[in-house]
Amino acid sequence: MDRLMWGILLLPLTGFLINSLGMRLSNRAVSLVGPGSVLLAFLCAVGSFFWLQGQHSSARHSDLVFWNWTLVAGQSRFHLDFGLLLDPLSSTMTLVITGVGFLILLYSVGYMHGESGYRRFFAEMDLFIFTMLLLVLADNYLWLLVGWAGVGLTSYLLIGYYFERPSAVAAARKAFVMNVIGDWGIMVALFMMLILFGTMNFSGVFNQVHTVPFDGRIITVMGLLLLVGAVAKSAQIPLYTWLPDAMEGPTPVSALIHAATMVTAGVYLVARSYPIYQHAPKALHVVALIGAVGTVYAAGMGLTSNDIKRILAYSTMSQIAYMFVGVGVAVYSAGMLHLVEHAFFKALLFMGAGAVMHAMQDELDIRRMGGLKEKLPFTHLAFFVGVLSIIGTPLFSGFSSKEEVIGSAFERASHGDPILWLVWGLAVVTALLTAVYMFRVFFLVFYGAPRDQHLFDHAHEAGPYMRVPMMALMALSVLGFFLAIPGVYNEMEAWLSPVFHSGYPGMGGPAIEPQAFSWISLVITLLVTAIGVFMAWRIYYRREPTPERVGAAVPGLYRLLANRYYMDEIYDAVIVRPIVFTFRLTSRYFEADLVDAAVDGTGALTRVLSGRLRRVQTGYVRNYALSIMFGAVLLVGYFIVGGR
Amino acid sequence: MTPGSEHFLILSAILFTVGALGVLTRRDPLIMFMSIELMLNAVNLTFVTFSHYLGSADGQVFVFIIMTVAAAEVVVGLALIVSIFQRTSRIDVDELDEMRG
């Protein structure tokens, strides 16, 4: 058992070390080590999953402590255990990370074929998987933060994979800076834990949460600070602008890091820290509201964007916002269920987008595509499955999880939490928008007349390395439906319930409800989704009314959405420019006039003062000898005359 | 007349003065070295004289040490002179004033 857990963590690290140090590895060896190490880690994850299932549900918890750190400084005492934590929550995450990760790495073997820096790509992907696993297997917040920062770093490296493109470098830097804002939030929360509890271990913190005075205000602050980290990592309002730009990275990177795994770390953090949020109902409300507003907000940008990868990025943001709604209404297992199923269908959609780009010579603009169904029948099918999943069609994976999330919000709202009506309403509106913008992409890319004949003529289907993972994810996107059928059963809920009902002392706040189910919510959601599909079909397939006329009907709104709410410009004007301006000023006046003047002045002063003294150094030996002589005579004279 | 201690001390003072003047006035490093040796040996003579006068062996121990150091100093000094000579082909210490301030 211990070996399995170490295997999960260390195998991808080994893959990274081999790939990064093996200067002479052939591409074939690299593509064996890269995905291979992750496949082995996946087998270890499966093994530990079955081990956990073999345990009694109350004993599904294994903390493999390998190092204790104790500090005693005067009165205060600080204790920290470093270990690997395996429970249903972290087991689920390891399965997603290694499973989907392996499929995407396999896809990369085909997609990245012939790229320069092939070995670097696989080394960095392995490193990413290692740090992500560290994040979910850590049993204390400090170690979690190490993995958290590690995924930020590898995300930076992989966004900037094409480092000869200035736009990629700028995007990488933007992502890194925004993630560091989140790291700051978590760090401050950690300092609070240190002062309040003297530990950062999950169990130590959660057992003491109820002892904090000031009727939960401090815990609310702590929850909000953790949320800052979650929001930055998961690209939610207001720290989301890095995610669309992050699409500068290779498509498999977007699939793995910026869709399936890393960006969902924020949801994991909130779910993992649920005892803190149970004591901070206000912080939990903020989580739900950020999620709800984020769903609509991101979907709006998805409606007008013309870049296939950016549309998927906005849909990722929107779907993660759904997960935030799930955990924000204290139905943590609904959020986690959506996390898992989203990993399946979003990775599939990105792979489909990658296959389209591959066929269209890296063209991203959906206005230049069209009619690709006959050229790319397989990709068309895969994309169709992904679209059906993301909009929540019954019998596809997104259906169960999305209905659970929206239904939970509905139930919580109708049981005396009126602010959640707003959350529910926004989530339902997003269901409509999701159907519109996903089918918009689908129709524009695969149907209608080809809008760029040259690109169309050269389009060709992707190779087997890319098709096999897509098939696997298509199967998962369908099978994901059976993880939970609303109103019938919920495997995920049952599996995760030991984690979320472990009963830490003094658990306050809103009750952790089992995933609720409501026919009303289900029917309404399905209805608006159908309306959305119909609208997309009319506008983008039949073209009556044409998209241009629809856009012209609401020119102000269209411009707002097409310019992404001007948020990049606002950040630029409010934050970036003042900072650059201030630093220009300081470099002009403080640096040049003050610091440089002081440094140069010291040198000039020394030169002036020593101008006379340097004459003493004549360079003639006999002058030195004479002065030695003179000194000796003085000394001797001193001792003879009066020194005795 | 047997020479007494004072004679030896006077001789030593004369030798030392000659050596010092040589170092200060001559520009040929070889001569300067010889002058330095003269000064050292003048001091040695003083040591021996006082050692004899006081009936103690301490002064003579110093003499041995000074001779050893002087030998080492000559080795280093001659090596310097040779390498300077190779570089300039003339030997005049007044021309070696690169370190002038």
Q: What is the pLDDT of residues A568-589, one digit of tens each?
A: 888 889 988 999 999 999 988 8
> Residue A459 in contact with residue A359, Cβ under 8 Å?
yes
Return the bridge partners of A292, or none: none
Q: What's residue A98's pLDDT?
A: 93
Burial class, A466, CB count within 10 angstroms (exposed 0-12 / middle 13-18 / buried 19+):
buried
When CB atoms are compared, the residue of A615, A625, A626 closest to B101 is: A615
Contact A621 B99 (CB under 8 A): no
- Assign A518 a pLDDT band (cuts: 50, 70, 90): confident
Contact B94 A620 (CB under 8 A): yes
Q: Which of A177-186, A239-248, A410-419 has the lowest mean pLDDT?
A: A410-419
Q: What's residue A515's pLDDT?
A: 63
**Is A67 an interface residue toward B (CB < 8 Å)?**
no
Residues A317, A323, A326, A329, CA torsion sign: negative
- Write the Ramachandran bin of A84: left for phi over 0, alpha for psi from -120 to 50, otherwise beta: beta
- Closest residue on chain B to A615 (Cα): B101
- The span from the CA of A278 to the CA of A220, in Å, is 10
Return the bridge partners of A81, or none: A68
Averaged pLDDT, A495-516: 73
- Assign A382 a pLDDT band (cuts: 50, 70, 90): very high
Contact B101 A626 (CB under 8 A): no
Tell which residue, A141, A273, A275, has the closest CA to residue A210: A275
CA dihedral defined by A128, A130, A131, A132, rounded to 10 degrees?
Answer: 80
Contact A619 B20 (CB under 8 A): no
**Radius of gyration (Cα) for chain B, nearest Å?**
17
Query: Is pLDDT above 70 for A514?
Result: no
- Closest residue on chain A to B98 (Cα): A619
Contact A625 B101 (CB under 8 A): no
Between B64 and B84, name the one with better pLDDT.
Answer: B64
Any idea what DSSP says for residue A538? Answer: I
Retrieve residue A38's tokens: 């992750």
Q: What's residue A545's pLDDT?
A: 81
**Is A622 an interface residue toward B (CB < 8 Å)?**
yes
- Assign A442 a pLDDT band (cuts: 50, 70, 90): very high
Closest-CA distance, A617 to chain B, in angstroms, reads: 5
Average pLDDT, chain A: 88
Residue A543: phi and psi, rounded to 5, are 60, 40
Query: Is pLDDT above 80 for A643?
Result: no
SS3 category, B57:
coil
- The span from the CA of A271 to the CA of A266, in Å, is 9
B interface mutation test: which of A610, A622, A629 has the most B CBs within 10 A?
A: A622
Q: Write out chain B residues lying below 8 Å of A625, CB-based.
A: 23-24
When CB atoms are compared, the residue of B20, B25, B97 closest to A620 is: B97
Contact B23 A617 (CB under 8 A): no
> Residue B97 in contact with residue B32, Cβ under 8 Å?
no
Cα separation values, A295 from A103, A132, A291, A298, A426, Å: 28, 25, 6, 6, 7
- Assign A231 a pLDDT band (cuts: 50, 70, 90): very high
Residue A416 amino acid letter? G
Closest-CA distance, A607 to chain B, in angstroms, reads: 12
Q: Write out chain B residues lying below 8 Å of A620, CB-based.
A: 93-94, 97
- Assign A151 a pLDDT band (cuts: 50, 70, 90): very high
> Residue A348 in contact with residue A473, Cβ under 8 Å?
yes
CA dihedral defined by A226, A63, A508, A506, rounded to 10 degrees?
Answer: -130
B interface mutation test: which of A620, A626, A640 has the most B CBs within 10 A?
A: A620
Q: Write out chain A residues lying below 8 Å of B94, CB-based.
A: 620-622
Q: Could you tell me the end-to-end alpha-carbon distance of chain A, in angstroms, rounded to an integer? A: 87
> Residue A443 in contact with residue A540, Cβ under 8 Å?
yes
Retrieve residue A577's tokens: 């420019």
Retrieve residue A427's tokens: 């989530």
When CB atoms are compared, the residue of B20, B93, B101 closest to A621 is: B93
**Radius of gyration (Cα) for chain A, nearest Å?**
30
- Assign A106 a pLDDT band (cuts: 50, 70, 90): very high
Q: What's residue B29's pLDDT?
A: 85
Q: Write out chain A residues lying below 8 Å of B96, CB-based.
A: 619, 621
- For the stretch A333-366, what's the b/e string if a residue is b when 16 or more beta carbons lie within 10 angstroms of its beta carbon? bbbbbbbbbbbbbbbbbbbbbbbbbbbbeebbeb
Tell which residue, A37, A97, A80, A512, has the closest CA to residue A265: A97
**Is A612 an interface residue toward B (CB < 8 Å)?**
no
**Is A70 an interface residue toward B (CB < 8 Å)?**
no
Return the bridge partners of A201, or none: A140
How many helices (H) and strands (E) chain A has is answered by 28, 4
- Assign A644 a pLDDT band (cuts: 50, 70, 90): low
Query: Is pLDDT above 80 for A477?
Result: yes
Contact B101 A621 (CB under 8 A): no
| Cβ within 8 Å of residue A443, ≥6 positions away | A536, A537, A540, A541
> Residue B33 in contact with residue B74, Cβ under 8 Å?
yes
* Residue contacts between A and B (CB atoms, under 8 Å): 34
Contact A621 B32 (CB under 8 A): yes
In sequence order, which ranges of A360-503 are alpha helices (DSSP H)? 377-391, 397-414, 419-446, 453-458, 464-479, 491-500
Retrieve residue A274's tokens: 């649920």
Averaged pLDDT, A144-158: 93
SS3 category, A307:
strand
Q: Write out chain A residues lying below 8 Å of B97, CB-based.
A: 618-620
> Residue A396 in contact with residue A385, Cβ under 8 Å?
yes
Residue A365: phi and psi, rounded to 5, are -80, 115
A interface mutation test: which of B35, B92, B93, B95 has the most A CBs within 10 A?
A: B93
Return the bridge partners of A437, or none: none
- Assign A461 a pLDDT band (cuts: 50, 70, 90): confident
Match 């249903």 to its residue by tokens.
A88
- The span from the CA of A464 to the CA of A616, in Å, is 85
- The span from the CA of A141 to the CA of A135, in Å, is 9
